[in-house]
């Protein structure tokens, strides 16, 4: 159970920092490191490059389509890299390599669970997302339903996901940067917040996408380089590596057996559902499907994205295994030089120490810069998704009922980005010392239970009506939030009560059926004329979803 609780938070960056391997979350990773000039220099290069791109992007960002979806002109390959970038966060690099280092095979199981959702998204969603959506996924849920109420609901759950995820990333970012770069926590938070606003406000989706692409390439390159250098110490032999790893690891031969990680089937399945369908309900991931030209490119994006993710996850497995010997047997990486004691900087620093061991300070600096870039790229995507929910859904469609001009709509999203940015900075500083491990779990829970069910029903089920969508959406949102509040991660760890009222840390297995059931029951009970018209309108939506005829197309530049 303990390790499963940990997994919830593995989902986001904060795993990288709050999950010191034992004891209270922020334990032992608070001390500031000496200023790392290699890392800062390389990070400045990254910022300079991305600023140049933002400048270039700002000249191309004129219409709302440019701002929200990069004019629909991103190719499948580029989008595949960007999606992979969203998915290969600092948490996967640091948290999961640390998990393989500590638990061996269990870490590899996690990696597969993270990956397995992608083929499903391709087979069942990618094409219809592209054919029906324009700027936000609410475009799809509200396609034939009542605009005002359904969009408000979708925007509220989008913003819930974005805010929790963003806050989790900010706090994690501050701590990670403090650790890797030796910067003050507050400075780190400001740097992340300001850069994020800059990218989104001036460069919109074009800049947000390119920042993600560049970072994905850096991460693939850095990870591969460390893995190759590390494997060279074992003559590139997996046999050799595992033989030595099992010989020195405290788990011994058990290293390559499943541990207690998924011993509880309910949590295991709930987790699997949450990961798979949470991914399919994250607004900043869904948004990427609208940036490509057509359904063909949308499919290609998933092909490339899942290829990169699959490759990189296997690299992470190797990083963790090689770390067992290269880092785990070297006193220089332990506090007080005691092998088997506490790793300097906390349990999640395995990949960083490994980089230093095989490539010196230069490689360490590079990998640290990549981790910083990763955070920046992910928060920019989140801010972009949050800003579109506010400006496109709430302002333009709900308040102005579609009568807002493009210029004011973009203005509103820029203001929304500034607000989101300052809220993120403010809360990030406020929550510095708080245990926020539950927030990423909550974000995935809400995405899986509030966004996904209504979205998939609106695409596949003719009978969905406005009333059903609202009940399903709000039902999923509230039940996911309540289950998380009553679970151990908030009720015990944050509020400080003795026992959790809800025994599982993963809400998906319980909250998702509630959402589906409510959507079904209230759609069936809805006998209004409006409902009849909505059901009838499904026919046209269905043809468009299948053929892409009438789908929004790329704007020419």
Partner 1 sequence: MSSEMYEHMRANPKFQRLVTKRGRFAWTLAFIVLAMFYGFVLVVAFKPALLGRPIRQGSMVTIGVAVEFFMFIFFWVLTAVYVRRANGEFDELTQEIVKDAWKENK
Q: Which residues bind partner 1 (CB under 8 A)?
A: 105, 108-109, 112-113, 115-116, 118-120, 122-124, 127, 238-239, 242-243, 246, 253-254, 256-259, 261-265, 268-269, 272, 295-296, 299-300, 302-303, 306-307, 310, 313-314, 539-540, 543-544, 546-550
Distance separating alpha carbons of residues 468 and 479, to the nearest angstrom: 16
- What is the closest distance, in whole angstroms, from the C-beta atom of residue 6 to partner 1 in the complex? 17
- What is the closest distance, in whole angstroms, from the C-beta atom of residue 388 to partner 1 in the complex? 25
User: Closer to partner 1 at the Cβ: 253 or 341?
Assistant: 253
Q: How far is CA 539 from CA 30, 463, 529, 530, in A?
A: 57, 11, 17, 15
- What is the closest distance, in whole angstroms, from the C-beta atom of residue 258 to partner 1 in the complex? 4
**In this structure, what token pair is assigned to residue 230?**
């590390």
User: Closer to partner 1 at the Cβ: 315 or 518?
Assistant: 315
Contacts of 361 (CB under 8 A, 6+ apart): 36, 38
Distance separating alpha carbons of residues 555 and 435, to the nearest angstrom: 45
CB atoms within 10 A of CB 57: 24
User: Closer to partner 1 at the Cβ: 135 or 308?
Assistant: 308
User: Closer to partner 1 at the Cβ: 243 or 335?
Assistant: 243
- What is the closest distance, in whole angstroms, from the C-beta atom of residue 247 to partner 1 in the complex? 11
Provide the β-strand partners of residue 334: 343
Angle, helices 147-181/438-446, rounded to nearest 10 degrees: 150
Opening angle at CA 216, ends 212 and 219, nearest 5 = 135
User: Closer to partner 1 at the Cβ: 304 or 372?
Assistant: 304
Distance separating alpha carbons of residues 184 and 398, to the nearest angstrom: 42
- What is the closest distance, in whole angstroms, from the C-beta atom of residue 542 to partner 1 in the complex? 8
Distance separating alpha carbons of residues 273 and 257, to the nearest angstrom: 23
Secondary structure E strands in 351-393: none
- What is the closest distance, in whole angstroms, from the C-beta atom of residue 265 to partner 1 in the complex? 4
In Å, how far from its chain's centre is CA 34? Answer: 30
Residues 554 and 71 sit within 8 Å (Cβ to Cβ): yes
User: Closer to partner 1 at the Cβ: 14 or 121?
Assistant: 121
User: Closer to partner 1 at the Cβ: 288 or 300?
Assistant: 300
As a three-state string, the secondary structure of 233-295 is CCCCCHHHHHHHHHHHCCCHHHHHCCCCCCCCHHHHHHHHHHHHHHHCCCHHHHHHHHCECCH
- What is the closest distance, in whole angstroms, from the C-beta atom of residue 307 to partner 1 in the complex? 6
DSSP state of 347: G
User: Closer to partner 1 at the Cβ: 37 or 123?
Assistant: 123
Distance separating alpha carbons of residues 514 and 453, to the nearest angstrom: 10
Number of H helices, E strands in the chain: 24, 0
- What is the closest distance, in whole angstroms, from the C-beta atom of residue 97 to partner 1 in the complex? 16
User: Closer to partner 1 at the Cβ: 67 or 538?
Assistant: 538
- What is the closest distance, in whole angstroms, from the C-beta atom of residue 313 to partner 1 in the complex? 7
Distance separating alpha carbons of residues 97 and 323, to the nearest angstrom: 8
User: Closer to partner 1 at the Cβ: 118 or 452?
Assistant: 118
User: Closer to partner 1 at the Cβ: 269 or 500?
Assistant: 269
Question: How many Cα atoms within 13 Å fall on the side-chain side of residue 549?
Answer: 7
Provide the β-strand partners of residue 116: none
- What is the closest distance, in whole angstroms, from the C-beta atom of residue 543 to partner 1 in the complex? 4
- What is the closest distance, in whole angstroms, from the C-beta atom of residue 444 to partner 1 in the complex? 17
């Amino acid at each position: 159970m303990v390790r499963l609780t940990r997994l919830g938070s593995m989902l986001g960056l904060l795993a990288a920092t709050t999950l010191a391997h034992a004891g209270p979350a922020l334990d032992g990773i608070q001390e500031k490191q000496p200023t790392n000039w290699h890392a800062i220099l390389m990070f400045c290069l990254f910022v300079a490059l991305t600023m140049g791109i933002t400048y270039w992007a700002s000249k191309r960002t004129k219409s709302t389509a440019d701002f929200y979806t990069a004019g629909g002109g991103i190719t499948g390959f580029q989008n595949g890299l960007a999606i992979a970038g969203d998915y290969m966060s600092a948490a996967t690099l640091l948290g999961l390599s640390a998990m393989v280092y500590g638990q061996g095979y269990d870490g590899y199981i996690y990696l597969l669970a993270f990956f397995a959702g992608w083929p499903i998204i391709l087979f069942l969603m990618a094409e219809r997302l592209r054919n029906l959506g324009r700027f936000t996924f609410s475009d799809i849920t509200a396609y034939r339903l009542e605009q005002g109420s359904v969009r408000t609901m979708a925007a509220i759950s989008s913003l819930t996901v974005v805010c929790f995820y963003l806050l989790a990333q900010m706090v994690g970012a501050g701590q990670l940067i403090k650790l890797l770069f030796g910067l003050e926590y507050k400075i780190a938070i400001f740097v992340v917040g300001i850069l994020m606003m800059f990218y989104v406000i001036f460069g919109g989706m074009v800049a947000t996408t390119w920042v993600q692409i560049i970072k994905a390439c850096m991460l693939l390159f850095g990870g591969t380089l460390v893995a190759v250098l590390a494997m060279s110490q074992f003559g590139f032999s997996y046999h050799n590596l595992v033989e030595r790893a099992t010989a020195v690891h405290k788990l011994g031969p058990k290293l390559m057996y499943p541990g207690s990680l998924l011993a509880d089937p309910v949590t295991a399945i709930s987790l699997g559902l949450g990961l798979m369908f949470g991914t399919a309900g994250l607004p900043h991931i869904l948004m990427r499907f609208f940036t490509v030209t057509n359904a063909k490119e949308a499919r290609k994006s998933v092909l490339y994205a899942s290829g990169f993710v699959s490759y990189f996850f296997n690299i992470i497995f190797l990083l963790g295994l090689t770390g067992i010997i290269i880092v785990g047997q070297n006193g220089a990486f332990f506090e007080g030089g005691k092998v088997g004691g506490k790793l300097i900087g906390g349990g999640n620093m395995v990949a960083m120490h490994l980089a230093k061991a095989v490539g010196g300070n230069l490689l360490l600096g590079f990998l640290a810069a990549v981790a910083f870039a990763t955070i920046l790229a992910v928060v920019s995507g989140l801010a972009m998704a949050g800003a579109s929910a506010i400006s496109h859904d709430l302002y333009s469609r709900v308040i102005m009922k579609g009568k807002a001009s493009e210029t004011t709509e973009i203005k509103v999203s820029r203001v929304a980005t500034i607000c989101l940015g300052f809220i993120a900075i403010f809360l990030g500083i406020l929550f510095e010392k708080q245990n926020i491990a539950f927030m990423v779990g909550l974000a995935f829970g809400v995405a899986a239970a509030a966004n996904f069910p209504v979205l998939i029903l609106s695409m596949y089920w003719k009978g969905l009506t406005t009333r059903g969508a609202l009940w399903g959406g709000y039902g999923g949102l509230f039940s996911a939030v309540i289950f998380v509040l009553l679970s151990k991660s908030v009720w015990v760890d944050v509020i400080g009560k003795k026992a959790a009222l809800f025994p599982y840390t993963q809400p998906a297995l319980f909250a998702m059926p509630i959402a589906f059931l409510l959507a079904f029951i209230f759609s069936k009970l809805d006998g209004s004329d409006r409902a009849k018209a909505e059901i009838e309108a499904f026919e046209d939506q269905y043809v468009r979803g299948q053929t892409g005829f009438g789908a929004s197309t790329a704007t020419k530049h």
